[in-house]
Amino acid sequence: MYDKWLADRTHWFDASGIRKVFDLAAKLENPVNLSIGQPDFDAPEIAREAAVEAISSRKNGYTPTQGAAPLRTLVQKQVDEQYGEGVREAFITSGTSGGLLLTLMTLVNPGDEVIIFDPFFVMYDALVRMLGAKPVYVSTYPDFHIDVNKVEAAITDKTKLIIMNSPANPTGTIASEAVCRDIAELADRKQVALVSDEIYKFFCYDGEFTSPAKFSKNVIVLDGYSKCYGMPGWRLGFAHGPHEIIQQMLKFQQYTFVCAPSALQFGAIAALDTDMKPYLDAYRRKRDLVYDGLKDYYDIVKSEGAFYSFPKAPTASASEFVNRAILERQLLIIPGNVFSACDTHFRISFAASDETIVKGVEILVDMAKNG
């Protein structure tokens, strides 16, 4: 009976493969967990206290759709300082994922084409399909860096937008300044929208982060507080871009999320005064633990940012290799075909304790040596 009730879009994509690994993890007694894509540090104490104070002082109602005035004003000031006053408009979203949904709802029609770089964050593919559009994959294998010539070749008269993620999930690569400039200029020349997901921009280990918005006022930027400040459950993000686009995104926010969580927005204000550099240094060390431990046994590109590594599996099927790691070694990692049309690599999250990372690396080295 229920099949008759279900909308067609429920069949257009599957449940996240990451969630399937999480469900399996719940059945294991003491897994070595290198699967979770969230920081292993908590939100700063000052932010937690400010959020509690906001609740206690009854800041529990709706905020304006564009965000609580104190937080939105701070974000707009930061955007103005970086890009120039009056160039870009900002507002607070219900997480970066919420911002992505609003962006796609605003820009994408059924039948449109959306360029996604393969490997990709799982939500890009699913949301594009959810809206009846077609994802067009541009491969970044083997080094996971964007080739702008491939992007240009993939653009057709149906292309509506390009989704860019730097630093990238799941590969940990960072787009160079030249690539950011070239892709922004290409999008403008072809009159294609460019969306830049910058949620991991804090986690840059060996170089500077560059946004394509530096080179074009037309880029829609998505960002947030989940990764940098250890508050993924707070569901707080922000977006900025051209006034005309942002105003339409706000219209959709009004009729979907309404606003971001109210009291937590006041907690985020307090978090902005926290020095998070010690965490960046810690994650650089964690990155090195993974890379130095695996480089002699796996084909692995050194992560430049985010908190992921994406090694190539030593077997023909990465998903089969991951299943063995989970079932035989209780090591939780994510098969690459969750993020890609290819089943050749697997994702490691080094957002974990050093002890867990060392155990995971030891298991993977043993699997490479002894099968």
In the prediction, which pLDDT does 16 show? 63
In the prediction, which pLDDT does 122 show? 94
In the prediction, which pLDDT does 28 show? 80
At the second CATH level, the architecture of 2-43+276-370 is: Alpha-Beta Complex (3.90)
Q: Provide the residue-wise pLDDT of the chain in tens; the chain has 371 residues.
A: 788 888 888 888 777 667 677 777 677 888 999 998 899 999 999 999 999 999 999 999 999 999 999 999 999 999 999 999 999 999 999 999 999 999 999 999 999 999 999 999 999 999 999 999 999 999 999 999 999 999 999 999 999 999 999 999 999 999 999 999 999 999 999 999 999 999 999 999 998 899 999 999 999 999 999 999 999 999 999 999 999 999 999 999 999 999 999 999 999 999 998 999 999 999 999 999 999 999 999 999 999 999 999 999 999 999 999 999 998 999 999 999 999 999 999 999 999 999 999 999 999 999 999 87
Q: Which residues of the chain does CATH 3.40.640.10 include?
A: 46-271
DSSP string, 179-233: HHHHHHHHHHHHT-EEEEE-TTTT-BSSS----GGGT-TT-EEEEESTTTTT-GG
Average model confidence (pLDDT) across the chain? 95
Q: Which residues of the chain does CATH 3.90.1150.10 include?
A: 2-43+276-370
DSSP state, 156? Answer: -
Q: In angstroms, how far is the first alpha carbon of the chain from the final one? A: 47
3 state SS of 109? coil
User: What is the C-alpha to C-alpha distance for residues 173 and 165, in angstroms, rounded to an integer?
Assistant: 9
Q: How far is CA 286 from the centre of its chain?
A: 19
User: What is the C-alpha to C-alpha distance for residues 279 and 77, in angstroms, rounded to an integer?
Assistant: 25
CA angle, residues 75, 78, 79, in degrees to nearest 5: 85
What is the residue type of 256? T
User: What is the C-alpha to C-alpha distance for residues 141 and 164, in angstroms, rounded to an integer?
Assistant: 15
User: What is the C-alpha to C-alpha distance for residues 139 and 193, in angstroms, rounded to an integer?
Assistant: 19
In the prediction, which pLDDT does 11 show? 81
The CATH code of the domain at 46-271 is: 3.40.640.10
Q: Which residues, 6 or more positions from 37, have their beta carbon under 8 angstroms from its beta carbon?
A: 18, 169, 307, 308, 349, 351
pTM of the full structure: 0.95
